Amino acid sequence: MLKTLGKICRTGIITELPPLSDESLRVVDALQSRILDVLGRALCIRAVDAGSCNGCELEIQALNNPLYNIEGLGIRFVASPRHADLLMVTGPVSKNMEVALRRTYDAMPDPKLVVAIGDCGCTGGIFGESYATCGRVSTVIPVDVAVPGCPPSPRQILSSILTAITKAVPETSRLRQNV
């Protein structure tokens, strides 16, 4: 126990806090305030692998490490699509995953956002369209933001979340007024 506590103290808080002049990291600051403005609560993401090679999953998982510390920004990955605001999809959509992806999308409450991750999610990538894949994610469900890369870096994935949030503003505010 002492060793564990000692290690925690020695590690300290290593989450990267950017200086204000760092453009690429300012995205993170802006991201947090936008989420608060738009949603007024944590953003919940449901990740679905619709047929990827698992490379993109590794970089999405990295967002949870203490250097990116995505939960510290108010963003959380959730286990059910019914709890999610944003659907993050990787891979060319395999025909064998097409129904499952549609059902996951349908299970999400409105308004819903979709981010397609990686070259495969954007265009079908190296696998293309074939007897076994539908290619890009947008052939199966509507996509708000697509992030290229093989795999894209955690920082690129973070900034894609911001882009999706920005697009969502009008519809979300409208819904709020209705409530």
Partner 1 sequence: MALQRWFQRAAQNSESNERSGIAGAPNVLGLAVSREEWQQAAEHVATGGGRLQALWASRDREGHDIVRVAFIAEQGVLVLSLEVPATEVHYPGIEQWFPSANRMQRAVADLSGLRSTDPDTRPWLRHAAWPESFHPLIDTHAPISPSVPVIDSYPFTPVEGNGVHEIPVGPVHAGIIEPGHFRFSVVGEKVLRLEEHLGYTHKGIERRFTEFPLLNGHRLAARVSGDSAVAFSWAYCQALEGMAVAQLPNRATWLRALALELERLANHLGDLGAIANDAGFAFGLTQFSRLKEELLRANEKALGQRYLMDFVVPGGVRADLSSTGVRFLIDSIESITPEVNELRAIYDDHAGLRDRFVGAGVVTPTLAAQLGLTGLAGRASGQAFDLRCDLPCEPYGDLAPKKTVRSEGDVAARVAVRFDEVTESARLMLQILRELPAGPHHVAISLPDDGCLGVGMIEGWRGPIFLALEAGAAGMIRRCHPHDPSWQNWPVIEHAVIDNIVPDFPLINKSFNLSYSGHDL
**Nearest in space to 41 (alpha carbons), one of 172, 178, 144, 149:** 172
Query: Which residues are paired to 147 by β-bridges?
Result: 117
**Contact with partner 1 (CB under 8 A) among 17, 126, 169, 175:** 126
Q: Is 89 in the site for partner 1 (CB under 8 A)?
A: no
Draw the binding track, 42-81, toward partner 1 (x: CB under 8 A; -: no contact): -----xxxxxxxxxxxxxxxx-xxxxx--------x-xxx
Query: Which residues are paired to 115 by β-bridges?
Result: 88, 145
For partner 1, give the closer residue by CB, 80 or 173: 80
Contact 120, 92 (CB under 8 A): yes
Contact 176, 153 (CB under 8 A): no
Instruction: Look up residue 162 and give its amino acid.
Output: L
Q: Is 179 in the site for partner 1 (CB under 8 A)?
A: no
CA distance 48 to 45: 10
Look-up of token digits 């093989």: 150
Site for partner 1 in 14-33 (CB under 8 A): 14
**Contact with partner 1 (CB under 8 A) among 31, 43, 70, 92:** 92
Could you give the count of Cα atoms lying within 13 Å of 13 in the half-sphere of its Cβ? 5
CA distance 56 to 150: 7
Number of residues that bind partner 1 (CB under 8 A): 52
Q: Which token pair is 17?
A: 């806090």
Q: Is 159 in the site for partner 1 (CB under 8 A)?
A: no
Q: Is 173 in the site for partner 1 (CB under 8 A)?
A: no
Q: Is 4 in the site for partner 1 (CB under 8 A)?
A: yes
**Contact with partner 1 (CB under 8 A) among 7, 23, 40, 177:** 7
CB of 151 to partner 1, least distance (A): 7
Residues that bind partner 1 (CB under 8 A): 3-4, 7-8, 11, 14, 47-62, 64-68, 77, 79-81, 91-92, 94-100, 102, 104, 126-128, 130-133, 150-151, 153
